[in-house]
Structure 1
Amino acid sequence: MASEQQLQVLVVDRDEATRIDLKEFFAVEGHQAYSVSDFEQVIGVVKQGRCQMLMLDVSPPADPAVELLQKVRAADSDLCVVCMTAAPSIDVAVRTLKAQAFDYLEKPLAPEELRAVIEAAIREKGLLVDLESRLNQEVGRRLRERRTEAALTLKQVANRTGLSVSLISQIELGKSAASMSTLHKLATALQVRMNYFFETI
Structure 2
Amino acid sequence: MPSVGRVASTPQVKTASLDESAWFCPQEVRILVADDDRGVCQLIQQSLARPSFRIEIAPSAAEAKEKLASQPYHLIILDYVLPGWEANEALEYIRQQQPDAAVIVITGYPSLEGVVSCLRARVYDYLTKPFDMQQLESVVHRCLQHKGLLRMTEEALLERLGAFIRERRKALGLTLAQMSERTGVSLGYLSQIELGKNSASIETLYRICLGFGIRMSELFAAIDRPEGS
Code of the residue aligned with 2:107 in structure 1: it is: T
Counterpart contact for 1:43–1:75, Cα < 8 Å: no
1-side partners of 2:125 and 2:33: how far apart? 15
The residue number in structure 2 matching 1:39 is: 61
Q: Say whether 1:75 aligns with 2:97.
A: yes
- Aligned residue for 1:11, secondary structure, equals strand
1-side partners of 2:150 and 2:134: how far apart? 20
Kindly report the root-mean-square deviation, in angstroms, between the aligned alpha carbons of the 2 structures: 2.6
Number of residue pairs aligned between Structure 1 and Structure 2? 129
1-side partners of 2:118 and 2:84: how far apart? 10
Which structure exhibits the higher relative contact order, with contacts defined as CA atoms closer than 8 Å and separated by 6 or more residues?
2
Superposition map of 1:99-114 within 5 A: 99-114=121-136
Q: Which runs of 5+ in 1 are unaligned?
A: 130-201
**Displaced runs of 4 or more, over 4 A:** 60-63
Matching residue within 35, 42, 60 for 1:20: 42
Q: Say whether 1:53 aligns with 2:49.
A: no
Counterpart contact for 2:141–2:150, Cα < 8 Å: no
Counterpart contact for 1:82–1:104, Cα < 8 Å: yes
Identity among equivalent positions (%) equals 24
Task: Check 1:102–1:62 CA distance in 2 against 1; reply closer, same or farther (3 A cut).
Answer: farther
2-side partners of 1:33 and 1:63: how far apart? 22
Q: Which runs of 5+ in 2 are unaligned?
A: 1-19, 152-229
2-side partners of 1:42 and 1:101: how far apart? 17
Code of the residue aligned with 1:124 in structure 2: it is: H
The residue number in structure 1 matching 2:160 is: none
**Shift of residue 38, structure 1, vs aligned partner:** 2.4
1-side partners of 2:79 and 2:31: how far apart? 14
TM-score by length of 2: 0.49
Counterpart contact for 1:7–1:128, Cα < 8 Å: no
Which has the larger helix fraction? Answer: 1
Please give the per-residue CA displacement for 1:141-189, whole angstroms capped at 9, x wherever unaligned. Answer: xxxxxxxxxxxxxxxxxxxxxxxxxxxxxxxxxxxxxxxxxxxxxxxxx
TM-score by length of 1: 0.56
Task: Check 1:77–1:50 CA distance in 2 against 1; reply closer, same or farther (3 A cut).
Answer: closer
